[in-house]
Structure formats: structure tokens, C-alpha cells
Amino acid sequence: MSNYTRLVSSSGSFDEMIRRFGVVTVMNADVYPAVDFSGTAKTVSEVVSACTAPICHLDTLKVANVTVEGPTKTITGGQYANPLIKFGKSARLEMQDALGNIAAIDALCGGVAEWTATSYTDPEGSNTRVYKALHFGEDFNGPKTIIGDSFFLDKDGNQVKVKILFYQFLPDSIFNLTQDAEGDATVFDMNGDLLTTVVKVPHQNGENEEHGLFYSILEVASN
């Protein structure tokens, strides 16, 4: 005999949720080496499939905000010099972590982690590093691909799982260390630019067409 509740599956309700949704929390995210976007454009599923070995996991974020600005160019004309065509946007992802994470600082904040090899395996999986120091200089990090897991709320308040895919995140590679005994606890900023990435997206004609994207909000298929 099967048991039931009033709860709906994430995949079955994504369509209904995305029509009118609420965002109430941050994502947990895995950071990957940047997917190779050179050559033939990839589909969204191909990008996700290429992300297999995360550099670090972010599960203590306080905020993860995406902001888009534009246009970078505006064509005006006519008697009143009205805007005729607008072109160009820029996007940023600004994350704030409640806890310092040496692997994330090494990957996103310009830090240089120093470690020694070990045969120790932690309860969550293989761990071959014992960290010895964290160095800071003029180092910059290259692009990363980030996949975040979160949930949105539908109009009835149901939680619906979503996956947020940031195709190319170029970190600012800046780390600020604030020490204040009287103020709030230190938070750690991990900010950067979202690069426009050409991805194959389904078109009304049934074919995949190349389109420039910053990020995508994706349905999570139910098991």
C-alpha cells in the first residue's frame, strides 16, 4: 500500500512554481573548474554533465545575490533623441560566507593554500590534504563554473527544488580580513563577474540555437 501527503514533487510543480514564485533563502553551491566553452557551444545538460569534480562546497552562505546592469550602449535618434536600441548588459554574483573556507578562499578569493599530503580519509569522502598555511599576495583566480542547489516557493508556499547554474564566474580574487571584538562576527565576501557564455538553448523551431547567457534556473528532476 502506498502512502501519500499533500506535498508535490519538485519536478511536477516547477512549471507552476516558476510562473509565480518567492525566493526566501540562499543556495548551497559546488564550485568547479571552468567548463571548456571553446569550440562548439554546449547545451545546458552538457554543461551540467561536465561538472564532475568540485573544487569546494559552499554550505554556509549568508547571501548570494545576482545583479545585472545595462545597457552598455544606447542608440538614440529622432527629433527628441529618444532611445531606439539598447545593447549590452553586465552581471555580478556577490556571495557572503558566514565561515572562512580555505578551499573556497584558494579558489575564489586570491588566497594560496599550503598543504601537505596525507593518507587520511574523512567521513565524507577522500581527503588527501592537511592544510599548513594560507598566503595572500597579488594572485588572481581564473573563471569557475558554479552549480547551486536551493528551493523557491510557489504561490501556495510549497518548497520546490531548483538548480542554479552559473556558467562562468570570474572572481574578484579579493580577501578582506576584519577583526573586531565589539562588532558583528566577520563575514567573508566572494564576489565576481558573470561572463556572457554562448550556450545552446531550444528554439521554437525545435532546434537548439546559440544564445549568450549569464546563468540559468533549472528544474530538478524527481527520483
Residue 118 lies in a domain: no
Residue 4 lies in a domain: no
Q: Please count the structural domains in the chain.
A: 1
Residue 87 lies in a domain: yes
CA distances from 70 to 20, 51, 55, 88 (A): 25, 30, 32, 6
Domain that residue 105 falls in: 10-109+141-219
**CATH no. for residue 57?**
2.30.110
pLDDT in tens, 107-156: 999 999 999 877 665 655 556 788 999 999 999 999 999 999 999 999 98
Residue 135 lies in a domain: no
What is the C-alpha separation between 128 and 37, in angstroms, rounded? Answer: 30
Residue 134 lies in a domain: no
Residue 3 lies in a domain: no
pLDDT in tens, 83-107: 999 999 999 999 999 999 999 999 9
Residue 179 lies in a domain: yes
Q: How much is the pTM?
A: 0.90
Residue 124 lies in a domain: no
pLDDT in tens, 205-223: 889 999 999 999 999 976 5
